[in-house]
């Protein structure tokens, strides 16, 4: 029996945002590997072995998935959103790159998913309608000084900036510092969106400004979008305004 690994993004929440290809891989899998919050989102089956683990040590999880596949299992490795965006896909290739040569002949495929940034953008209108970037605010795997540099330069270059992992219980202060850096580069009127639990029953989307955004309202389920200078709101009464960034830009 020949095993495989499918690295599957589950989307930001609802099943409607799980791709058909991902759904098929989950149905064909014999083993499910991932952070337990994500493995719990996959319907239990008698013929599916679930290897849910705590957050962290993605490399160990990736090696485990590879060794199961080497022994003939069909393994779905799950991430939230898209597995390639701050998810398990890169950890899989770190494990293969560092591992024995035999791993290179394994059948490993990454399946695309809907990342949080795209889901949040769609809910708002079109905030990513011009050039944008995504920054992971967690300094678990990179120095905080690099994050500060990237924030400042992305703001200087007028990108729309999506901030993943903006805060957690262990890192409550970094989003305060991030806003301070952004406020040095952009006016207080810059559009800021706090998109919490997008697509889930407890979804909350707040459109505010860089001057008024409250970093204390941001948690690990929040995606922050900081608009470019051209990002605009279309007010519509008591409904959340539409937020969009026009496709055009004029010479500075
Ligand atoms: N691979 C995931 C991102 C993992 S990093 C993806 O592609 O979406 C985890 C961060 O993603 C969270 O801290 C949050 O910033 C963002 N996120 C994930 N799901 C979200 C959702 N439903 N609503 C808002 N933000 C979300």
CB atoms within 10 A of CB 155: 21
Residue in 221, 224, 225 to alter for ligand 1 test, most ligand atoms within 8 A of Cβ: 221
Model pLDDT for residues 104-159, shown as the tens digit of each residue = 999 999 999 999 999 999 999 999 999 999 999 999 999 999 999 999 999 999 99
User: Mean pLDDT for the chain?
Assistant: 97
Instruction: Say if ligand 1 is within 6 A of residue 95 CB.
Output: no
pLDDT over 90 percentage in the chain: 96
Instruction: Say if ligand 1 is within 6 A of residue 198 CB.
Output: yes
Residue 3: predicted pLDDT: 97
* Structural tokens at position 85: 């965006």
Residue in 116, 168, 178, 197 to alter for ligand 1 test, most ligand atoms within 8 A of Cβ: 116
In the DSSP assignment, the letter for residue 102 is G
- 238: three-class secondary structure by DSSP: coil
Strand segments, DSSP code E, in the chain are 4-9, 31-35, 49-53, 74-79, 107-111, 125-126, 132-136, 160-164, 191-196, 204-209, 222-226, 232-236, 239-244
Model pLDDT for residues 152-192, shown as the tens digit of each residue = 999 999 999 999 999 999 999 999 999 999 999 999 999 99
Instruction: Say if ligand 1 is within 6 A of residue 3 CB.
Output: no
- Please calculate the CA angle 228-232-233 and round it to the nearest 5 degrees: 140
Instruction: Say if ligand 1 is within 6 A of residue 174 CB.
Output: no
> How far, in Å, is the centroid of ligand 1 from the Cα of 168?
12
Residue 251: predicted pLDDT: 83
pLDDT band at 252 (very low <50, low <70, confident <90, very high): confident
pTM above 0.75, yes or no: yes
């Amino acid at each position: 029996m020949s095993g495989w690994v499918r690295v599957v993004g589950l989307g930001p929440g609802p099943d409607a945002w799980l791709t058909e290809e991902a759904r098929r891989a989950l149905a064909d899998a014999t083993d499910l590997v991932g952070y337990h919050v994500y493995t719990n989102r996959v319907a239990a089956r008698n013929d599916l072995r679930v290897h849910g683990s705590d957050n962290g040590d993605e490399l160990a999880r990736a090696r485990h998935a590879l060794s199961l596949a080497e022994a003939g299992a069909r393994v779905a490795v799950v991430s939230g959103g898209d597995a390639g965006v701050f998810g398990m896909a890169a950890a899989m290739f770190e494990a293969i790159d560092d591992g024995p040569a035999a791993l290179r002949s394994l059948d490993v495929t990454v399946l695309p998913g809907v990342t949080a940034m795209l889901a949040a953008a769609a809910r708002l209108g079109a905030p990513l309608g011009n050039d944008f970037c995504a920054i992971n605010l967690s300094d678990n795997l990179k120095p905080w000084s690099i994050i500060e540099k990237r924030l400042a330069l992305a703001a200087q270059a007028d990108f729309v900036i999506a901030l993943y992992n903006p805060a957690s219980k262990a890192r409550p202060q970094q989003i305060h510092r991030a806003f301070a850096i952004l406020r040095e580069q952009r006016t207080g009127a810059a559009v800021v969106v706090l998109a919490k639990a997008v697509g889930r029953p407890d979804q909350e989307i707040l459109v505010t400004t860089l001057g008024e955004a409250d970093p204390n309202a941001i948690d690990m389920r929040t995606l922050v979008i900081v608009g470019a200078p051209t990002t605009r709101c279309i007010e519509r009464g008591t409904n959340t305004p539409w937020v969009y960034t026009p496709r055009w830009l004029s010479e500075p």
